[in-house]
């Protein structure tokens, strides 16, 4: 307990090397909490600072933590082409409301190798005119790759935006067989 009689949330983290660069994974006792692209030292420190401020607990580096071990194993298997679906408990506490509803639908309803349009995803959650709001939800996704916002594309066939950068989105879609492998 902290000095105010509240239970502190334990947050553990590790950086995992992948084909799209280092990913920061952070977890709590509830499950995987955050995945951050391009986790260089500066990006990592900024992300950990945001988590500390938001959750009131200083994240602890713990790559061998039981809270992270399975997430690390599954992320590595995904990038090795040996895993198509993540089966992890997720801590949704960094997202709420419409964004959470959309992200949960995305996680459960858009499988590996498939894509969905922003408007189609909006319709799936009962808000068919909310395509732009779905785009905002994708940008606020605290669990990219695991909650596959890279699978959300534009209606006209464009790949749309992506918080990890368009090259990262292309690589993820190529890994899943949706796009050809980038030539360079």
Residues acting as catalytic residues: 149
d(CA 82, CA 78): 6
Give 17's contacts (C-beta < 8 A, 6+ positions apart).
none
Instruction: Please give the span between the terminal C-alpha atoms of the chain, in angstroms, as a whole number.
Output: 52
Which positions ≥6 away from 41 have C-beta within 8 Å?
A: none
Cα(154)–Cα(115) distance, integer angstroms? 10
Q: Torsions phi, psi of 35, nearest 5?
A: -125, 130
3-state secondary structure at position 41 = helix
Do residues 114 and 131 make contact, with C-beta atoms less than 8 angstroms apart?
A: no
């Amino acid at each position: 307990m902290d000095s105010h009689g509240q239970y502190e949330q334990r947050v553990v983290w590790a950086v995992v090397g992948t084909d799209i660069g280092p990913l920061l994974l952070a977890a709590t006792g509830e499950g995987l909490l955050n995945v951050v692209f391009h986790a260089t030292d500066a990006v990592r420190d900024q992300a950990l600072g945001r988590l500390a401020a938001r959750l009131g607990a200083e994240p602890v580096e713990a790559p061998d933590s039981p809270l992270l071990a399975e997430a690390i194993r599954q992320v590595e298997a995904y990038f090795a082409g040996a895993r198509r679906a993540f089966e992890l408990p997720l801590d949704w506490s960094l997202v709420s409301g419409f964004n959470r509803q959309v992200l949960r639908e995305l996680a459960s309803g858009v499988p590996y190798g498939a894509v969905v349009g922003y408007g189609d995803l909006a319709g799936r959650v009962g808000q068919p005119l909310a395509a732009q709001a779905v785009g905002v939800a994708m940008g606020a996704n605290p669990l990219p790759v695991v909650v596959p916002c890279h699978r959300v594309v534009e209606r006209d066939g464009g790949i749309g935006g992506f918080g990890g950068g368009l090259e990262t989105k292309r690589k993820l879609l190529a890994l899943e067989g949706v796009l050809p492998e980038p030539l360079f």
